[in-house]
Chains A and B, each alone.
Chain A
Amino acid sequence: MFFKSLDLTTALRPLLLPDEILLFVQDAVGLYDGKYKIQNYQNGHAYLTSHRVCYVAAEDPRKYSVAIDLKEIDRVDSQAGFLKSSPKITIYPKPQKKKTDKSRSATASPAVAQQSALHPTHSLSHLPQTNLPQSSPSLKPINATWICPICSFSNPVPSNFDPATATAAINLPPCLACGIKPPFTTVLKAAISAVTSRESQSLNSVPSPAVAQDTGQPNVNASQSPVGPGGTVSCPRCTFVNHPYLAECEICGAPLSAGSSANANRVDSPAPLFEQSHIANTEVSESIKLSFRAGGDKTFHERLKGALVQRKWLLQNAPPVPSPSQGASSPGLPSPAASVENPLPSAPRSSGVGIAGLERRGLEARRKNELVIGNAFEDLEALMASAKQIVALAETLARESGMTTNESSPETSAVLSESAAALGMVTTKDMLSSGSESLYLSELARDLAEYLTDDRKGILQREGGIMSLIDLWAVFNRSRNGVELASPSDFQKAAELWEKLKLPVRLRRFKSGLLVVQRYDWSDEKTIEKLQAWMEELRRVPPSDPVPWDLSLFGRAVTAQEAAHRFKWSVGVAAEELEMAEDRGVLCREEGIEGLRFWRNYISSPEYNDISRLAI
């Protein structure tokens, strides 16, 4: 299992894969590798998605954020907090399997191919390995042993035995002692366990990869093999004390740990060695732990278990609709490998060409749409059913309060509105552990920032870089298709958090109290510059109708509508911006029967002062 590097969105959240769904978020989480804390990874957000567990540090998140794939998780354990120890969730990686490797390299995930972990230098380099997936394991002989089920003799696994490609059809050599052929599974298990143990070993023996490579890989027990006085090494299998230069035990032939120096290093610094810069693309040794310093571990654990059961990541690799034509179209390829090599459902894999192919794809799309729409309407009906109940409940509440007081007192109406608000909030906070209001708000703030800065939608660009909060609220809730709507008060609170969270958008309050959203680097000065340039332009370009004033001197007046049209702002925003400019003395106003118009400020600009003085 690897710590993968994590792509972050503009709002500093994990960038989700196409099918990925965010399941849970918890803040104040620390990361452990095995028993040790990982430096710089001690305070951050843990994001649980349907595919991954992501960690994003609160400080410098671009640097310190990692993810691990759920599909590589073997099991998870929950550990309750005790005294000063925070509750923790331990995640154990799966033993390495070549099958998963292949599918993983085929996914769009940015992490390096896993099988290159066999190469010990890997844990030092963060560059993607260029080794071919299949060639890597077969390049190096696996120094494993299998134990004969008949006579319990330890036989070496044949060097050409590759667990990735081996099948039961391969002719296995018989046991050296009793001459009975071993079952295929025994040898396969032995080979796999040797590979996994070596990988964990390779992580620990980081400082001397070359040594480790030269002397062959130690087996599973080698790391615990005691190093005797004088540098002698005792065999992990028969406990014979060997000379340190020996690669194999003199008595039983078991491979010895050559990494005495690696062990020494491990003792010297108990902290993991990869702590220096960042741990992305390094391998998880035995387990990792998430320490939940602000609670939320129970929900995280539950959801994580749920996600592990659901295996949503399988959908990513699955072919969209199993159709009989597919198998027939590609008979030459080994089917499982082919499907994982080509993971995107949209990839054209059918060999149907021309009109027939197009028709079939159209049919498939229609069927899929039918299914989706059918499901959606089922949901809608369920929603309506419950909505009726809620409305009925609200009505009874209202009636009761009306009966007791005869006229609606402000108190009861307040209570009623509160309960209504509470009803509205249940679904939105579902994703987060109860009671963490601030976390919900900060997540909503990030959500919003992402939504705003999403270049595909270009919300802010379309609005000229600035839009009112109310408009944003409407657009945002509409984009959520009626589920998980954000309440106005939460929305505003979330927007107020932008500045604190250092997100690329900010909330601004105009003089009149209008709240607008704009880019972080947007400033009044920039707006004024734009307005001035526009005014200058208006002065040079004569309008079609003659004007009674000196055009070359005063130019032309603008209304809020014109400004809104020109800068693609909303009218309210334009009016506010113009008034802001007026406030700064750049513009001045003219009220007339045509409405409010704004001029460049010739009243207080000094150069025109002189002219009027001369005229006196």
Chain B
Amino acid sequence: MTTTSPFPFPPTYNFPAFFTPQPNTTTRQAQLQKWSSLIQSWCRHHRQYRLSLIDAVESPLFHNTALRKRLDLREARAVVDWMTKSEEEGGGGRRAEWISDGGASSLGGLGNGAGQGPKAVAWIWWRRPEEWADVLVEWVEGTGQRGSVLTVYELIHGEGAMSQEFHGMDTDVMLRSLNVLVKRGRAQIFGGEGQEGVKFF
């Protein structure tokens, strides 16, 4: 999933004060905004959809080895917390979503966050499901596949979508995006678990 090219960190990443929670509200907002951007671009670069904070605090994302500065777990949690809130609540516009233990096991069963308590793993929406839905619709329309039936596996791993951004996407994210389309009346999902098919109208 990861690409070989190194992630280009923004200049703020090398600013030592960036790793200290700022008491000034305005500065704090700007700081959180920058962290949010950093996390999103990091995940996008690495094609990562879910972020386990326990693992991430040791990764270069939260740990600047050159400066010997890091964002500890509590602070990282605060940043993601901020990202989960909508902009009306003074948050980061729902760019993240906590994956609760139960939810994670029922959805994907990957167990990434199992046993780590709440607020350990989060979806990072560098594209929100709604946005993914738009991308899918655009691709379907662009390739003239309206009315045809595709399996979810085909969507994610199919050769037709090789060049698309959603290639290799997390199945849970794909299902959520498709569900958005279902709600909009643009698609229909059928089939059992693990073998879902989808029809675009």
Contacts and interface: CB of A to CB of B under 8 A. Distances in A.
Contacts of B194: none
A601 B18 CA distance: 10
B112 interface: no
B23 A603 contact: no
Among B12, B31, B67, which residue has the most Cβ atoms of chain A within 10 A?
B12
A589 to B, nearest CB: 6
A592 B15 contact: no
Given A550-B14, A589-B17, A615-B9, A603 B37 contact: no
Contacts of B23: 582, 589
Contacts of A603: 12, 15, 17-18, 22, 27, 30-31, 34
Interface stretch (A248-256, A355-363, A492-500, A605-613): A605-613
A612 B23 CA distance: 22
B41 A616 contact: yes
Contacts of B103: none
Contacts of A553: 11
A611 B38 CA distance: 12
B10 interface: yes
A583 B27 CA distance: 9
A604 interface: yes
B16 A557 contact: yes
A563 to B, nearest CB: 16
B65 to A, nearest CB: 9
A611 B12 CA distance: 9
B16 A611 contact: no
A611 B14 CA distance: 13
A602 B37 contact: no
**By DSSP majority rule, is chain B's interface helix, strand, loop, or mixed?**
helix
A554 interface: yes
Interface in A545-603: 548-550, 553-554, 557, 582-583, 585, 588-592, 597, 599, 601-603
B15 A604 contact: no
Contact of A549 (B16, B20, B30, B38): B16
B19 interface: yes
A582 B24 contact: yes
A591 to B, nearest CB: 5
Given A603-B34, A616-B41, 15 more contacts: A548-B67, A582-B22, A588-B17, A592-B20, A603-B15, A603-B18, A603-B27, A604-B30, A604-B31, A609-B34, A612-B10, A612-B12, A613-B37, A615-B10, A615-B11
Q: Give the 8 A-B CB pairs with smallest separation, nearest first.
A: A604-B30, A612-B10, A615-B10, A590-B17, A616-B41, A599-B17, A548-B66, A591-B20
